[in-house]
Chains A and B, each alone.
Chain A
Amino acid sequence: MSVPNTMRVGPFVPTILLRKRYLIFYFVLIWLSLIPVLLEFWWYWRLLWDWERPIHFFIYLAFIIFAMYLTVVFTSVIFAKLLLSLVKWRHKPREGTFLRDISDKDYRFWCIRNVIKRWPVWIAHKFPFPFLDNIALKAFGVKTSIHNSLFEGWVDTEFIEFGDNVVIGQGSIVQSAVIVGNLLIIRKTVVGNNVRIGSHAFIMPGTKIGDNSVLATNSVTTVGQKLEEGWIYVGVPAKKFKKNVFFQDGLEEVLGHVDNVEKLREKYEKIYLKRSDEKLTRKEKKRSMEERKELEKKRLEEGF
């Protein structure tokens, strides 16, 4: 139900902590965001503490602790936003492929931005309030409706657009930046309306998912992949599986009902998995080799 520790996934830490001196952002942010909370508690103390009759203080203590947590989240978001706007003013964030090296300005500023966002997003993600996540993400520039449920997985904090009524499954990752070898790739990820993303699915930067489509569990998209509208995608990397007809009315009784289960299973086993003990004929081998070569050619031509 609640996310266990083993599923608290996030972007890789060593890529973010580029230099130790960026830690100063953490200290400044944590210090700044804890001051209003202390003020709040001081106000509460002045209001209700009485050495002879402390009962009122104790009755409303839980409320004020609750409110204090919320203020920590909000103030840290506000201060991070201020710092972030300064950083963005120095260097505007942009999409593209960059060198993963300190000499590269884009990479350096990407690291700084992530360091700044990490504390408020972490503190919003920790608490079991679904909408705290949405508020933090919204403040940092992810386009999302407040009703989307993004709290079970991990969502990168910039260059992402969500439509309405999106559900992100447990432990799935939506990225807009990835490090491949010596390169940092930042591309915009767009997720349409009514999209369901299964648990442990992985969305790479640059993926564009159309409305009403589904990315099933444990499937992975590639960089810059486009998923069409109204289809179900399965696999590593995600492939077209079948049409999504589940948005029609009146399917309650027919849903999931299959007459010939064995036939379907045979059909899908062929699609899903090629067994290692299955021997290919020479023709099939040749064909698969050609297909692979064509794919590689296509990818080289398209580039990043």
Chain B
Amino acid sequence: MTEEKETSEDEDLEKSIVFDALSDSDMALDFTTSSAISRVNIKFLAVYVPIFWVSGLAVSTYLYASTAHVENWFITLLLLPLNIIAMYFIFILSCLLFSKLMLVLVNLIHKPKEGIFKAEIGDTDYEFWMLRIELKKLVLWLMRNCPLPYIDALAFRWFGVKMDFSSHLNDTWCDVEFIKMGRKVTIGQGAVVMSSMIVGKYLIIKKVILGDYALVGGHSTIAPGTIMGDDTVIGALSSTTYDQILEDGWIYFGIPAIKLKPTKFKRHERDFIVKRDVDEAKSFKVQHEVNIDEDKKDKV
């Protein structure tokens, strides 16, 4: 059986296309795949267990302190729910702290960088990329299951996504490096924002930039290298491709996203309201008075 396999592989190699004959459309990355880690390994336990244990130590210290010298059991039991919530958050925050610490150490050993690398064991960039993802995974899982929506924005900010608290990522699958977001970005349920992608033998890492007031629809995918302008909208169930640039103030739709129509709800036109006169079948714009001082209007 093994001999047969080897011969068939050799034949495949002979059949494969000659390198010089590859045309533009062959090389173009006009499709999007996923950025899940390609090889699951038992070695990952070595990352999880220390983080889990060290942050578990913090929790058990708290537990010990609160139960060591109990004078009145009634009051202790009364305060138990509060204690449990406190322990939950202590666990999450200490997990965040220690994995950030380990991440800083890992980044000191090998600095993360953009580019195209080989997705094989032996390539340092690829292995460190997997290690970084595994380091962040436990914390982000805890954050996801926490009922506070802004607490995972905290984790994303700590781990290197450039964003502020005006935009949210709590319903999004998001890579946690090389992503820059403007103000008040809305990302829909189940959308995927990737800054890394595996295509064939290669791992591609490239920065993603989302402009101010950008809007990403539900279940849509954003590929590495995408640059979204201000006020740009991507519809639901659509995906961008590698290195795609979406212009300011347009609605994009499709697989891959192409221009559909200009946005009518731009930030500059927030002061206007479109009114419709049904009887005469006309629509007209009306200046809408916003109760904000002149000098603060651009902050809206």
Q: Please give the residue numbers on chain A whose beta carbons come within 8 Å of chain B beta carbons, in ascending order.
A: 1-7, 54-55, 58-59, 61-63, 65-66, 127-131, 134, 146-149, 151-152, 165, 167-172, 196-200, 212, 214, 216-219, 232, 234-236, 241-260, 264-265, 267-269, 272-273
Contact = CB atoms under 8 A, between A and B. Distances in A.
Given A171-B192, A244-B200, A217 B26 contact: no
Interface residues of B, number: 78
B102 interface: no
A58 B30 contact: no
14 contacts: A2-B140, A58-B61, A66-B49, A129-B48, A149-B36, A149-B37, A167-B198, A171-B219, A199-B32, A199-B33, A216-B33, A217-B32, A245-B26, A264-B24
B202 A246 contact: yes
Nearest to B22: A245
Interface string B1-45: 000000000000000110100101111111111111111111011
B64 interface: yes
Contacts of B136: 1
A4 B19 contact: no
A273 B48 contact: no
Contacts of B38: 149, 165, 167
B181 interface: no
B19 A250 contact: yes
A148 to B, nearest CB: 7
Contacts of A6: 171, 189-190, 218
6 A-B pairs with the lowest CB-CB distances in the bound complex, closest first: A62-B56, A246-B200, A169-B34, A6-B189, A128-B141, A58-B60
Given A214-B31, A247-B201, A273-B254, 19 more contacts: A3-B144, A5-B144, A58-B61, A62-B56, A128-B48, A129-B44, A167-B37, A168-B36, A169-B36, A169-B192, A171-B173, A198-B31, A216-B239, A218-B219, A245-B22, A252-B118, A254-B22, A255-B204, A272-B254
B52 interface: yes
Given A134-B40, A248-B16, A264 B48 contact: no
B34 A168 contact: yes
Interface string B39-68: 111101100110011011101110110000
A147 to B, nearest CB: 5
B39 A147 contact: yes
Contacts of B192: 169-171, 199-200, 217
B239 A218 contact: yes
Nearest to B237: A218
B40 A131 contact: yes
Contacts of B16: 245, 247-248
A246 B201 contact: yes
B238 interface: yes
B17 to A, nearest CB: 6
A147 B130 CA distance: 13
B53 to A, nearest CB: 5
B27 A147 contact: no
A151 B138 contact: no
B89 interface: no
A71 B99 CA distance: 25
B56 A61 contact: yes
A166 to B, nearest CB: 9
Contacts of A165: 38-39
B255 A218 contact: yes
Given A58-B60, A200-B221, A217 B198 contact: no
B40 A151 contact: yes
A205 B239 CA distance: 24
B39 A241 contact: no
A147 B43 CA distance: 11
Nearest to A3: B173
Contacts of A198: 31-34, 221, 239
Contacts of B56: 61-63, 65-66
Contact of A167 (B26, B31, B36): B36
B29 A256 contact: yes
Contacts of B226: none
A199 B221 contact: yes
A16 B296 CA distance: 56
A134 B53 CA distance: 24
Contacts of B202: 246, 251-252, 255
A268 B242 CA distance: 14
B172 A4 contact: yes
A196 B59 contact: no
A2 B258 CA distance: 29
A62 B87 CA distance: 13
A255 B173 contact: no
